[in-house]
A and B are shown apart, each in its own frame.
Chain A
């Protein structure tokens, strides 16, 4: 299919499709799809965080089971999401559950890695001070290590969220909603149709913009969520190095 067959400049056709008011209303409109997409993402990240933060924290705190972090990060980054998703749907049913399960699997590594790195990197001096004050293991974890690890944990959640937003586009292939719907439907409508490539391109533009906006918002959230105690001058030097989310080197991407 040649995008130019859609008539006129492909960019213009895509923008025309994007700004056509018909496409902004109703259950198949852009806003609905955005909400569906964010819904899948939010659900996935909440579930993944509920699983990965405790595990990562325990591994970071005790130092045991670190192979799990490295192994999972590597292995799951290599797992083709399209394959996992479609196989799960074929084995279960066409619906939200298999999609969320496969998305959660994908979201676990960044959060695990971020939590582990955060807890592990807490300044030993701080932990010693806490233990000197009489705090026992789990209290140290709860009251000292986790709050100090928050920037990196949030960084991991941030990476996971972006990963899920990217992968949720595939959900449309198995009859779900979300922004991938425009790409899949547009692909099937073919050229010669105003709902062909223009729809695909318009969908792609919205996907890209959504990802960028969410990334920006989460960056702000990450900065605001760090405890004031970590914002003072003496720790600023060390903390400023970990403002950055766990770098791509740590978590990569698979969609």
Chain B
């Protein structure tokens, strides 16, 4: 285990290095003088000169990268030009909201996707299989911001059951918080449910044809025990690890979902930053997201390693 862990850790170092190069490179895409652009409307020469000096714009590119990465290594992701606050602080402030949304969305996705996948695999080529496949196609083809608008139209405007937008902290009022999060969580979980359904279906189809499942049936076990106890247990491992990898999709989707439902999370932070030309925040959010994704990838790999004795050989 320690050797495997070390090997995996060594493999992610170059990945993280290239991620930082890509994110640093984003800044080079700005046309013209970066300091003048970053100064925004305020074209005061002193501000521009200050920014140029602060960003080391007069120095060669590799040196600028070195200064930037040294700051990042110390947790300094830069400062928001608009609110004059450290980017890391802003991210950590918004993170709990997005984490709550992402966790609820994942719950929705698991609650819909896994049972749909099981039903589809067990009843392969039956009407249930077709229905589950149609559901997956629907999930993969529906833009989540459109689904969000339609749900607002139905549940907020027509029926008046749920608030159309806004966010209440769960510490303040749990009921109001859940009422505000039901629709966003469903909208965000819908597409992931479709992906999980397809993974579950193919994983279940594989194990349902395995010899040990045939043996379990031959022993006279009822179909329910065979499917839920024998087959699902083995099919779940790849589903859970693949589920962890859907984190990227969740965060991408959160950007749009938070925009539709005016939820003040991570996604709204990056969109607001884009429109305020607050590039340090954009870079910070991308770097933070990628790092979390890489770490989750590693954890998923390790979890797979732990639960799959064959890999430990």
The answer to whether A and B interact is no
